[in-house]
Structures are given as structure tokens and as C-alpha cells.
Structure 1
Amino acid sequence: MMIDQLVDWRVSGVLLDIRGHSEAASACTLARIAAPAVSDMAGSGVESTVTIVRPDGTPSTAATTDGAGGLSRWDQLAGRGPTSRALGGRLTIILNARALDKRWDEYQATLRAAGFRSAFAVPLPLERGYRAALTLYTAETNVFTPVVAAQALAFSDVAAKSLALALQVRAGLAQSADLRAAMASRTAINTACGVIMGQNQCSYEAAFQILTAASSQQNLTLRDVAEGMLRALPGGVPTTHFQHRT
């Protein structure tokens, strides 16, 4: 069952409806849902970012505020903060404005400069080579207590499943669009070859070679050459069954 931010996400089996026209759109929707959800848990204002790294390594960060977005992007590029650790599959919680671990000194200074005092990041397990992280920020200290952290982790589990589904749906739609384009291209080429075969009394292979030569000479794709030839015919380019359905 798909839900939006107005429905209690704690109900077993529900998913957040974060489907979008792009990966970035889904990430933006998730970030906008996460901030008020965790703010209610913590009793304090929380900003959020969702960072997605595509299989080719290209990152995309969606944020509820510019400050949170800039901090997560710095973290991801520098590799020295909770977002980068979460993208590597590790959970990080910073509870106070100061951290005893000296490895966090640079990050703590950057965190304070952005107007925040506490941060929480959690990996969002995805599939097909994608990586993602949900990072939460607040201007207060000691906000991400063990109780709040546990609730945020429960939310992140729903968020990860919802994001994985949104990416799967988008991939399916993209694959369907690619298939329709390929079928349309193949239909035009095959029809043009049929015309050439009739005009020249030759085989399909010979007709295809003629079409390929024209494509090379005109510096156009095979589909463009084929459709140009068909447009010159009385009936024009034939409409296919799958074009009627789209």
C-alpha cells in the first residue's frame, strides 16, 4: 500500500508514495517527508537530505534547506562526515556539538558553520548498484537520543523500501519507453527495406545495405533515412499498433 506524509508510516506494510519523474524528484519528496516526520519524533525542528549515488558514481542530493544540502554535498565530496559514511553502508550518529573523536573536528566545524549542532545519517539500502543515505540535521544538541534514533531508524527502513520501489518503477518506465522507440525505429527501417526490395527486386540484405549507404552519405541515422523515404510515399510513415496504444 502506498501512502503519503499525512498517513501514519508506522502501520505495518505501508510505503511512502515518492514516485517521481526522476530520481531527484523522488529524493526531494522523501526529504520533504522525512524532515517533519523526524521533527515530530524529536520534538525539535529537523532538516533532512537524501543523497543518491547512481551506479556510474554520479551523486544527487535533495535537501529541505540550502544549508543542509550544502553540508551533505561537502560531506559526500570530502568523505569525512556522516553522509559519506552512510553511503558506505555505516551508521553515524553525532549527539553533541562536540565530539571526543578527533577525526570529527573538521566536520564539527563545518556543521556549526552551517548552523547545526547535531547530525544523524543512515544508509538506505537499494539495488542495481545504487547507494543512498538519509541525513538529518538540527540546530540543537542532544536531539538524537537513543529513543529518537530508534524511531528514525524505523522510518529509514520504510524510506529505503519506498525509494527502492520508486527507482524500480522509474527504471521500468524508462525501459518501456526505450523498447517503444526501438520498435518504432525497427518498423520504419523494415518498411523502408520492403519498399527498396520492391523497387529494385532485391533481397532484404541488399536493401538494408542500400539504406545503410544512404545513411552514411547523408550523415543521418538509419531511422531518419527510412522515415524520410516513407514520408515521400503516398501513405507516408505507417502507424504501428504500439504507437496507437501510447
Structure 2
Amino acid sequence: MAARVPLSYPAADITRHVEDLVLNCPDLSGFLKDLASFCAGQQAYVSGDVSCGVTVLRASGIPHTGGSEEPTRSLEDVQTRYREGPGLSAALDEAMVLVTDLRSEERWPSFIDAARREKVLSVLALPVQLEGAASAAMSFYSLRPHGFGREAIASAHALAADASKGLRLVLRIATLRETEQNLRTVMAARPPIDIAVGVIIGQEHCSQDVALEWLFRASRARNIGIRDLASEIIATAGNAHPVKIHFDD
């Protein structure tokens, strides 16, 4: 981590600055990077030189990460890739995770190896409150053991609380954009999708709305385009073993 001079934003302006980040960078990836950089600078007032990472877990199953520095972003990615780490635990358990000295830590071996390569010795991870099925965490990394005292923890809690407001708004924007894109995709590929929906209705004896929702969910779960999945369903409809769409309730 490079040396950092604390940013000059007064504490009272933190919420306003997060709102500015939303306006200036409404796409999720850019917002997470800018948010992490801003929070790292703010936390430096009480923790000294630290870096910050943010991870967002969404119902779509695709995690989104951001870091104040590229090595920090990599630490966030390691956690989502191996499904372990303090930030991931904070997000999923909705509880603070404090690691005072990584040299004696035995949890999360993949993350520990990556953090030690970056010379990180202490970590503070906090959940960021979101809406619905989404969850998130903000993590601070220090090159010193016991890098986060009582004042630092209080400051990080305040930053996570303020960050949640902007992050909820950005996620709403992202969801609206994804919904619009899904609608455009549906309109462009309507004939095969209509036929596939009819096939699913015949297989499952369900409503059109349920069949269309199953089609979207299967597309996300299998990571293939909805038009390609619809074509696959149509092509195998007359076979002895047609493609069937099943989801547990």
C-alpha cells in the first residue's frame, strides 16, 4: 500500500460526498472503486495508512468488488473466488470481523496467503446494510498489527453506515438498467422466447409469468443468453429427454 495523506473532507460532509459519488459515477464498479478510495482517506485520520475494499453480493450471483488500490481489490476478489475471508464473513453474517494480527490467524487460508503477500497484518471488516437479498462489506487493511483501536472501529462504523445510503441508491440504478436491458433482450428475441415459454407451460403446467421467470433464472444460473436457452428448449422439445427448467421454491 502506498503512503496516503488523509483527505480533507470534514466529517459533516461525508454523507454529501457519498451522494456526489453516486451522481458522478452511477455505475456500480466505478462507484465501488471511488467509494473505497474515499473511505480509505477518511479512515486514515484515525488509523494512519490503510487501504479499503468493498464487496457486494447480489441475488444474481455475480459479486462486485472495489478497492482503493489494485492489491486491495485483489484481496476482495480472492475472498469471493474462494468463498472465504473476513469481508465475506462480515457480509454474510452481518457482523463485524476484527483480525488484530494475521500472523496468528488460521481461518480463511487462501485469503491469509494473499494478505500476507501484500504484507497486511490486521483487518477490520464491517457489514454494509442493503435492501432485499443483497449484502455487502467494507474492509480496512493495515500493514501494522493491532491497527484498529476503539476510535478507528467507531470511525469505520460511521463510514459503513454512510456508504450504505449511496450504495443502496446505486444498486437501485443498476437494477433498473439491468431490467431495461432484459426487456430489450426479450423484445429482440420475442418469437423464440414465446415458443420456449409455451414449452415450459406445457411441461410444468404453470402460468406464463412463472414460465418467463423460470426462463430468466435458468439463463442466469447457467450463464447463457436467454435467446440461446430458449432455442435450446425449442430444439429439444420433441426429444425423449427435452430440456426441462426446474427450480426449488
Q: Same fold (TM over 0.5)?
A: yes
Q: Are residues 1:130 and 2:119 paired?
A: no
**Aligned residue for 1:56?**
60
User: How far 1:119 sits from its partner (Å)?
Assistant: 1.0
CA 147–64 in structure 1, closer or farther in 2 if over 3 Å, else same: same
Q: Are residues 1:151 and 2:152 paired?
A: no
**Aligned residue for 1:93?**
98
User: How far 1:158 sits from its partner (Å)?
Assistant: 0.7
**Aligned residue for 1:29?**
34
Percent identity over paired residues: 20
Name the CA distance, whole Å, in 1 between partners of 2:78 and 2:14. 36
SS state of the match for residue 141, structure 2? strand
User: How far 1:58 sits from its partner (Å)?
Assistant: 0.3
User: How far 1:21 sits from its partner (Å)?
Assistant: 3.6
**Which amino acid counterpart does residue 73 of structure 1 have in structure 2?**
D
Name the CA distance, whole Å, in 2 between partners of 1:32 and 1:49. 8
Is the Cα–Cα contact under 8 Å of residues 15 and 158 in structure 1 kept in the other structure? no
Is the Cα–Cα contact under 8 Å of residues 15 and 162 in structure 1 kept in the other structure? no
CA 79–174 in structure 1, closer or farther in 2 if over 3 Å, else same: closer
Is the Cα–Cα contact under 8 Å of residues 83 and 134 in structure 1 kept in the other structure? yes
1:7-54 residue CA offsets vs partner (Å, 9 max, x unmatched): 434469756122124111211121111110111121x11111111122
SS state of the match for residue 103, structure 1? coil
Is the Cα–Cα contact under 8 Å of residues 84 and 111 in structure 2 kept in the other structure? yes
The residue correspondences of 1:147-186 to structure 2 (distance < 5 A) are 147-172=151-176
**Aligned residue for 2:18?**
16
**May I ask how many residue pairs the two structures share in their alignment?**
178
Is the Cα–Cα contact under 8 Å of residues 90 and 96 in structure 2 kept in the other structure? yes
**Aligned residue for 1:221?**
none
CA 12–102 in structure 1, closer or farther in 2 if over 3 Å, else same: closer
SS state of the match for residue 29, structure 2? helix
Name the CA distance, whole Å, in 1 between partners of 2:154 and 2:55. 21
- Find the structure with the greater CA-based Rg: 1
SS state of the match for residue 147, structure 2? coil
CA 173–56 in structure 1, closer or farther in 2 if over 3 Å, else same: closer
CA 95–165 in structure 1, closer or farther in 2 if over 3 Å, else same: same
User: How far 1:103 sits from its partner (Å)?
Assistant: 2.9
CA 112–174 in structure 1, closer or farther in 2 if over 3 Å, else same: closer
Name the CA distance, whole Å, in 1 between partners of 2:36 and 2:65. 10
CA 65–165 in structure 1, closer or farther in 2 if over 3 Å, else same: same
Is the Cα–Cα contact under 8 Å of residues 35 and 47 in structure 1 kept in the other structure? yes
Unaligned runs of 5+ in 1: 186-246
User: How far 1:125 sits from its partner (Å)?
Assistant: 1.2
CA 21–13 in structure 1, closer or farther in 2 if over 3 Å, else same: closer
Structure 2 length as normaliser, TM-score? 0.61
Aligned alpha-carbon RMSD (Å): 3.1
